[in-house]
Amino acid sequence: MGTILITGGLGQIGTELSEHLISKYGSNRVLVSDIKNEASGNIRYTKLDVSDLNKIRKIIEENDVTDIFHLAAILSATGEKDPFLTFNVNLLGTQNIYKAAKEFNLNKLFIPSTIGVYGPTTPKDMVPEDTVIRPVTMYGITKISGEMLGEYYSKKFGMDVRGLRFPGLISYKFPPTAGTTDYAVDMIIHAVRGEDYQCYLKQDTEMPMMYMPDALDAVIDLYEAPRNNLTRFTDYNVGSYSITPASLHEEIKKYYPDFRVEYKPDYRQDIADGWPHSVNFSNAQKDWGFNPKYDLQLTVKDMVSNLKKKFKV
């Protein structure tokens, strides 16, 4: 096995996944890339814009890349502000990765998808992978297309492309950038800093969530699972628990009883209203042993403890 390339490696997931992969496979095997000019910390880093197919080819060739974790993307909220950029990065960028992977006969590709592939006409509760899929955001449209392309390349060209649909991810190491579920992280950060919080969603907006350590385990477990055990390609549902801004607020008040939240829904309410309340992840459990350990209580406890250290409060 050669080098593992991570695209979009300086984002919310990439920052933690790269640490995880380095500790598992060694720093000389992991090459982190992103569109940003430079990275901090002691990692092998190269600048890569995934819309540049020739640069992808060059990096693969020069670094003996055999596997790619393709995380580069524009997320849901930014996606609605700049749908054309989102199309270019999420769809054309992903097609570039598949194309280069095929040309160089790479070993394995991992690409995360999202509950954003569902839409307002999808049933809301315990949603399975195969259901009504009519996303109405550019993010959702590009992510379902990326999933389907991955399945196409797997079946047509015998490539090994794997992926899962993440719910909202909660983490403390690196702030989320521009997703619709970011309020969860933001709300806890405000509480720990002793600040009031203004939430951009209505208090009863229910969505599935998961804590980052469970998300990282899911990525590695799916990546390492024997292909013969897998019944799906790029769309395994994963998740852990479902929350509303109000239920998260209640949980945080166990630590900060005076913490106040004001609700002022903005354009992100429409995006959230199109997403499911909960997902059925029984295929991930059955095929590769997905088993999340953090419920809401444990997530908030761990977030508060780590954010207090981070902000020295």
Ligand X SMILES: NC(=O)c1ccc[n+]([C@@H]2O[C@H](COP(=O)([O-])OP(=O)(O)OC[C@H]3O[C@@H](n4cnc5c(N)ncnc54)[C@H](O)[C@@H]3O)[C@@H](O)[C@H]2O)c1
Site for ligand X in 154-173 (CB under 6 A): 166, 168-169
Q: How far apart are CA 107 and CA 297, in angstroms?
A: 39
Nearest position to ligand X, beta carbon: 11
Q: How far apart are CA 241 and CA 236, in angstroms?
A: 16
DSSP for 223-263, written as a single string: HHS-GGG-S-SS-EE---EEE-HHHHHHHHHTT-TT--EEE
The reply to whether 139 belongs to the active site is yes
When binding is defined by CB under 6 A, the residue of 114, 154, 240, 299 that contacts ligand X is: 114
**Cβ pair 303, 233 in contact under 8 A:** no
**Cβ pair 6, 30 in contact under 8 A:** yes
When binding is defined by CB under 6 A, the residue of 26, 27, 36, 289 that contacts ligand X is: 36
- Asked if residue 51 binds ligand X (CB under 6 A), the reply is yes
Which position among 139, 183, 197, 211 bears the catalytic label? Answer: 139
- Asked if residue 34 binds ligand X (CB under 6 A), the reply is yes
Residue 88 CB, nearest approach to ligand X (Å) = 7
DSSP for 160-214, written as a single string: -EE-EEE-EEE-SSS---S-SSTHHHHHHHHHHHT--EEESS-TT--EEEEEHHH
- Asked if residue 49 binds ligand X (CB under 6 A), the reply is yes
- Asked if residue 248 binds ligand X (CB under 6 A), the reply is no
- Asked if residue 234 binds ligand X (CB under 6 A), the reply is no
Q: Mark the segment that binds ligand X (CB under 6 A) among 48-56, 196-204, 241-249, 257-265.
A: 48-56
- Asked if residue 71 binds ligand X (CB under 6 A), the reply is yes
3-state helix, strand and coil shares in percent for the chain, rounded to the nearest 5:
45, 15, 40
- Asked if residue 184 binds ligand X (CB under 6 A), the reply is no
Q: Which amino acid is at 96?
A: N
CB atoms within 10 A of CB 125: 11
- Asked if residue 79 binds ligand X (CB under 6 A), the reply is no
Nearer to ligand X, 196 or 295 (CB): 295
Nearer to ligand X, 72 or 271 (CB): 72
- Asked if residue 7 binds ligand X (CB under 6 A), the reply is yes
- Asked if residue 72 binds ligand X (CB under 6 A), the reply is yes
Nearer to ligand X, 97 or 304 (CB): 97
**Structure token pair of residue 308:** 């207090």
Classify residue 35 by its DSSP letter: S
CB atoms within 10 A of CB 37: 7
Residue 249 CB, nearest approach to ligand X (Å) = 19
Catalytic residue numbers, as ranges = 139
Contact residues toward ligand X (CB under 6 A) are 7-8, 10-14, 34-36, 48-51, 71-73, 75, 89, 93, 112, 114, 143, 166, 168-169, 176-177, 179, 181
